Structure formats: structure tokens, C-alpha cells
Amino acid sequence: MMKKCMLLLPVAISALTMIGCVSVPPAQREADRRERMVTMPMNPDMRERQYLPDVASVLEDADFSPVIDGGVPNQLEFDIDEGPINTVVTARLIRRGQVFASAEGRDGGPKSLIDRAGVVRSAVHRCLRDFEDQLSRASEWESGRAGYAASQPGYYR
């Protein structure tokens, strides 16, 4: 009986070692990584440039990789529109020509006259909270982990 146990031990160790050796081919890993790359806006204005690191962080948290050069399947559109009273911030992830996630944040009113930077910051944070939620839901829908209907606004393939 002891002899059988001694023989089973190397077999069990070999089996566990082989499980750890299974890997995805490098070409497939590269293709998967490329599918998650996002081209960042090429000519942001000064205010947009200030908040692009925050947008990049939201994308990274959603398992996307922001890149500067083009030629990847995803593109980020990010715009801060400062009007005389209101500020509107939009973030949109375009995937292969279709809107994958889209969000908007607004703030303004009389406080725009007193604290313009605070109004912009508030609008950006509202937009990014919504954008983060949209990315999460869209990724779940795309991977089939959630029962979202294709007709739901903002979630397209």
C-alpha cells in the first residue's frame, strides 16, 4: 500500500506541473492585447489635456490600453465644451466604427462666474463616473456575462 502511494506522488506532481505549462500562443495574446488598445485624442486643448490622465486611468481600470498612435480598433473621443454658463464634457469610446460606450457630464449655472475650474472639474468627474459605468456594462454585455438587450442605448457591438 505504501509503495502505491509513493508511486502516485510523482504522477500527481507531474500532472499539477503540466497544468501550469498550458499557455496561449503569442500571436493570440498579441491579438487580444491589440483589441483592447485605444487611440487617445491627437490634439486636445489645454483643458482636455489636463484631464486626459484621468480618462486614461478609467480606460485602464476597464482593461483597455491607451496608446498615442493610431491603427488600433478603438478610438477615444473626449471633449470639454465650456460655454458662458454651462460646461458639458463628453467621453465616447468608438470600437470598429460603432459607439461602445458614451457618457456626458454637465455643470454650470451662476457658480461658473465664480469658480470656472471647479465647474469643469465637477463636469469631468460626473462624465468619468458615467463613462466608467458604461465601459463596465458594455464589456459585460460584449462578453456575454450579462443579459443586456442589444437595443439598450449606449451598448453596441
CATH number of the CATH domain containing 53: 3.30.160.240
- Provide the whole-model pTM: 0.70
pLDDT of residue 154: 43
Provide the domain limits for residue 95.
38-143
Asked if the structure places residue 86 within a domain, the reply is yes
Tell me whether residue 100 is exposed, middle or buried, using C-beta atoms within 10 angstroms of its C-beta: 0 to 12, 13 to 18, 19 or more: buried
Asked if the structure places residue 109 within a domain, the reply is yes
pLDDT of residue 152: 46
Q: What is the pLDDT of residues 79-106, one digit of tens each?
A: 999 999 999 999 999 998 899 999 999 9
Q: What is the pLDDT of residues 5-34, one digit of tens each?
A: 455 555 556 554 555 555 555 555 666 677
Asked if the structure places residue 8 within a domain, the reply is no
Domain count, the chain: 1
pLDDT of residue 51: 97
Asked if the structure places residue 30 within a domain, the reply is no
pLDDT of residue 31: 60
pLDDT of residue 14: 57
pLDDT of residue 96: 87
Asked if the structure places residue 10 within a domain, the reply is no
Asked if the structure places residue 137 within a domain, the reply is yes
Percentage of the chain exceeding pLDDT 70: 69
Top-confidence residue, 11 or 130: 130
Asked if the structure places residue 80 within a domain, the reply is yes
Asked if the structure places residue 133 within a domain, the reply is yes
